[in-house]
Structure 1
Amino acid sequence: MKSTLVFACCLLAFAHANENANVLRHEAEVNVNDFKYALELDNSVNIQQQGQLKPSEREPNEQWVVEGQHSWTSPEGEPVAIQYLANENGYQVLSANPPLPTPPPIPEAIQRALDYIAAHPPPTATASF
């Protein structure tokens, strides 16, 4: 559900940023257990996504699995494209052109501290009245 809200916000942002663009193609099919959406504007914006409600391996309820791609031309004239998957594991970029920046590695001292904390969890507190 959260990922559907995020995607709706992304689409709204694209629509707001492209108020003067003309729609070349707009397709939407929304059902209870799945959906498909496609939008193409004359300013190079191209959005496609599809989703299905599927059984979850970790949750008792069904979860949305959404696949999609967005592409556009940046103000500098560079083509930009992102392909993604969103499921119970969160939003995952499958490919990006240009590549997305990656965070620097975790410093060794911080990693040792995180490993120690994981190996020595604090005792659980019990309430006594």
Structure 2
Amino acid sequence: MFFIRFETSNGIAVGGQGEPRNFGGNPPVVPVVSQGYYSFYTPDGQANSISYIADENGYQASGSGIPTPPPTPPAILKALDYLARSGQLKK
């Protein structure tokens, strides 16, 4: 098992823990499963944080520091709607 926690003078913080977990198999699969967080400030002073778990389902992160895509432009939505109604767009 491991534990980590530190903070830098500029406000970056990291913490986490993990341990080996046997998922079976031949040969046995024994990766380290971990969970933790990190936080930081953007150049404009906005606080961001990410929490995560990394296990048999991969790396799964959540938090305010994860970028989100911009909204789809109306012209693209209109084109997709047209293609869907005309049968040219398969779902």
Q: TM-score with structure 1 length normalisation?
A: 0.49
Higher helix content, 1 or 2: 1
Question: How many aligned residue pairs are there?
Answer: 76
Name the structure 2 match of 1:69: 37
Which of 35, 43, 55 is residue 87 of structure 1 equivalent to? 55
Give 3-state SS (helix, strand or coil) of 2:23's partner. coil
- Superposed structure 1 runs of 4+ greater than 4 Å apart: none
Which of 11, 16, 19 is residue 44 of structure 1 equivalent to? 11
Runs of 5+ consecutive residues of structure 2 not aligned to the other structure: 72-79
Cα offsets for 1:89-108 (capped at 9, x unmatched): 11101x3015541598xx76
How many percent identity over aligned positions? 29
Q: TM-score with structure 2 length normalisation?
A: 0.66
Q: Which has the higher contact order (CA 8 A, sep 6+)?
A: 2
Alignment of structure 1 residues 1-129 onto 2, 5 Å = 34-56=1-23, 60-93=28-61, 95-98=62-65, 100-101=67-68, 109=89, 112=91
